[in-house]
Amino acid sequence: MEINKIKCGKFSFNVPNFDLKLTMFSGQTSQPPWKHKNDYYQELIFIEDKPCLIKVRQKNNHLEVKYETDTKVSPQDIKKTIKYIFDLEFNLDKFYFNFTQNDSIFSRIVEKYNGLRLFLAHNKYECIISSITSANNSISKWTRSILRIKEKLGRKYVFPSSEEMYYFPDPETVLENKDKLKYCGVGYRYKYIVETTKILYENLSIDEVNKMEYDEAFETLLELPGVGPKVADCILLYGFRRYEAFPVDIWITRAIKDLFGVSKDIREFGQSKFGKYAGYAQLYLYQYIRHKK
DNA sequence: CAGGTC
DNA sequence: TCTGG
């Protein structure tokens, strides 16, 4: 699909404590890292229901942004969206301050991964499917699956710079093209994706879940096929920006065991220990344990 | 060999 | 369990 009435532009703005690459490649996220091209990272995002090609790159403490989008979308709208996706309003220093007091381990972790933030979903349905696909799967494999779903089932948009981007299909499209989904390398998760999509299409609105309190949203997500505690918390953290979520995978299990000697009820442990910073604590613990020799 | 859900 | 690297 070609886009008419399009405008291109660029701007830059100052960012707080932030590391774009670290944030985008942190591993456990709602979406694959953005496409790296000509020194920028780019993605197709819908803003005000209009397709928008966003390219970003970081130069020290500012972010350079190029965009191609409908004339109705303002640079302010784009900036707001970028701030949301990289969680730039979150007060990282306060989080650091809270957990580095009298804690040499956390001090080192925080120092090493300074500027790491949540990489939030721009599409909640994509985030749910991504999270289901990530279960019992390697990072490189689920990343490829998601990119394949976008290319095989998603809609293609061609921008003025002749850039071609695919957008993650909506639930209806996925249900209409179930057969194609089989060739996206999701394996046995195929039936979970189809069943969950059916529920999201017919019975459960994502917006409704978004309005719920954390606990209720968690229990509701658990009802979806292929969604267990880890996936539910990933969806809540990366998709719905619920900072109290604490997704526990084998890496977090190892980290908690390693640092605190705790080996059961790890989610509850993390949530009571870190409270409203549980999600961020998880982000840093994950980096710590994955890179630990 | 990696890796949550049923 | 299942499946690509």
**Footprint of strand C, using CB within 7 A?**
A 136, 138, 140-141, 144, 185, 187-188
pLDDT at A4: 59
Question: Within this chain, do residues A58 and A137 fall inside the same structural domain, yes or no?
Answer: no
**A70 CA → C5 C1’, Å:** 41
Long-range contacts of A161-170 (CB under 8 A, 24+ apart): A161/A8, A161/A53, A161/A68, A163/A42, A163/A53, A163/A68, A165/A35, A165/A42, A165/A43, A165/A44, A165/A53, A166/A44, A167/A44, A167/A46, A167/A51, A168/A123, A168/A125, A168/A126, A168/A129, A170/A125
Domain containing residue A180: CATH number: 1.10.340.30
The answer to the question of residue A60 being in a domain is yes
The answer to the question of residue A124 being in a domain is no
Q: Whole-model pTM?
A: 0.94
pLDDT at A3: 53
Expressed as residue numbers, the domain containing A177 is 130-155+168-239
Among A35, A180, A230, A273, which one carries the catalytic annotation?
A230
The answer to the question of residue A274 being in a domain is yes
Question: Within this chain, do residues A56 and A75 fall inside the same structural domain, yes or no?
Answer: yes
Of A93, A115, A140, the position where a domain reaches its end is A93
Give residues 56-85 of chain A lying near strand B (Cβ < 7 A). none
Q: How many domains does chain A have?
A: 3
> What kind and span of H or E run contains A64?
strand A62-70
The answer to the question of residue A55 being in a domain is yes
Nucleotides of strand C under 7 angstroms from a protein beta carbon: 1-5
Q: Which residue has the closest alpha carbon to C3 C1'?
A: A187
Q: Which residues of chain A have pLDDT under 50?
A: 2
pLDDT at A28: 72
Question: Within this chain, do residues A207 and A261 fall inside the same structural domain, yes or no?
Answer: no
**A48 CA → B4 C1’, Å:** 35
